[in-house]
Structure 1
């Protein structure tokens, strides 16, 4: 497959999968995708990653190592169903507070229902808002996390700038995202699985194939690891690093506001 990836210089803002769309069109199209798949989103994450997303998310929270403090505040962006936020709260011995922000109300509704069932509602709040215009004051959070959501943000540079703004000095950014596979053979197997199997499973499980065709294509358009690290640095973050998971199927990016 030809390399379809965008670069640190831009391109994701007009990329709806492999389709080019007009400036301002992408957000509405992405919102429609997530309204369609919200109730089965986590089930399909298991299918798309063969369950590995759970291991990667656990590794992300272990890397964050949230403080066991009632004053510790984390913002989890594009985290509507609560998957990362729940892990962070549990890792803090139910002391930290997490704000789950998502532009999609359907995803947030799933997360709020799950939080209630787990007895975590008092440790969480759910906010419907855009990652490109966060409704929070400067230097408000100790950590900013986003898992498998940054590639769906049209203006990634703007979102990273907002992440930097709302973090306290010494605050940490962690971004978990599908990445560029760097292992021979695995890349071919992964492509075959992604483009042939995932949309079919999406149709079977959610009744919708098209959203998963988009999600697969968006992974291939997202900048490769080194390029995305450049974007994080350009937003002002220091000590920027990334760690590949499972041969580069996913990568955890880290930056600090110093």
Structure 2
């Protein structure tokens, strides 16, 4: 009787130990999964990298049809001047092959086409080549509609392609463009360094990288005033004009999370670009960053 009782107790202990080992193994797997999940920022939130891609996609899916209108409202139309200066700094020539990344609605692309046309002064030859790329198909759809309305799609002098693609892994061969632009888009990418590496890869030797992005104001008082406007006014505008608060709350938070001018300059150099410079516009509200593949 005593022996049977002892055997039963040993069996119960063994079962308990097995359950403990199973629980520990499950816990270890969970911890490993948590530790292996890489995190990043979405505005001021900390989320997984995979989740950020989905959330950014949702933001631009939501605001696509009001995107250009809100740019006018938020910047009082100044974004048009910034983009004009941006194109002047690029100074493309006939024969330039441009990749306009995150260019869904076509603002930079249309300026590029018009710039080349003005240089040609009515010469009837196909000298304008541009690929408009964006990760969000809704933004590209808006750009296509604008291109049709403005007559670019029927222009025999314009070679235009639309590509839905991730800036971090472009489905494009090496060294197929000699100019790469990205305006107000790189801060929304999860891995900015990968975007820069891809830009370097698809550019020909001698090709130019040009980025227009919101920056930090060097004057602390002006930065404080700008912050008050950004956080107190822009989300309200988003609600009133576009019926959306959260996307514009994210947009202003994403600006504050983006590296300042010097840090971003260093990142561009680390990707391999040379002769890297930046130019502040409107006291540093945004900056034009330039680099060459030598």
Report the TM-score when normalising by structure 1. Answer: 0.92
2:110 corresponds to which of 86, 95, 108 = 86
* Greater Rg over alpha carbons, structure: 2
2:184 corresponds to which of 139, 148, 151 = 148
RMSD: 1.3
Q: Note the alpha carbon deviations across 1:157-207, whole angstroms, 9 max, x for none.
A: 011000000000100000000000113432122111100110001001111
The alignment status of 1:99 with 2:135, answered yes or no, reads no
The residue that corresponds to 1:55 in the other structure is 81
Q: Note the alpha carbon deviations across 1:9-59, whole angstroms, 9 max, x for none.
A: xxx971100000012211100000000000010111112222111111101
Q: CA deviation at 1:96?
A: 1.7
Maintained 8 Å contact 2:39/2:46? no
Maintained 8 Å contact 1:145/1:175? yes
Q: Which runs of 5+ in 2 are unaligned?
A: 1-37, 121-126
Q: Which runs of 5+ in 1 are unaligned?
A: 1-11
2:142 corresponds to which of 110, 117, 139 = 110
**What SS is found at the alignment partner of 2:49?**
coil
In 1, Cα distance between equivalents of 2:39 and 2:115: 35
Question: Which has the bigger relative contact order, CA under 8 A and spacing at least 6?
Answer: 1
Q: Which has the higher helix share?
A: 2
The residue that corresponds to 1:34 in the other structure is 60
Maintained 8 Å contact 1:99/1:124? yes
**What SS is found at the alignment partner of 1:92?**
helix
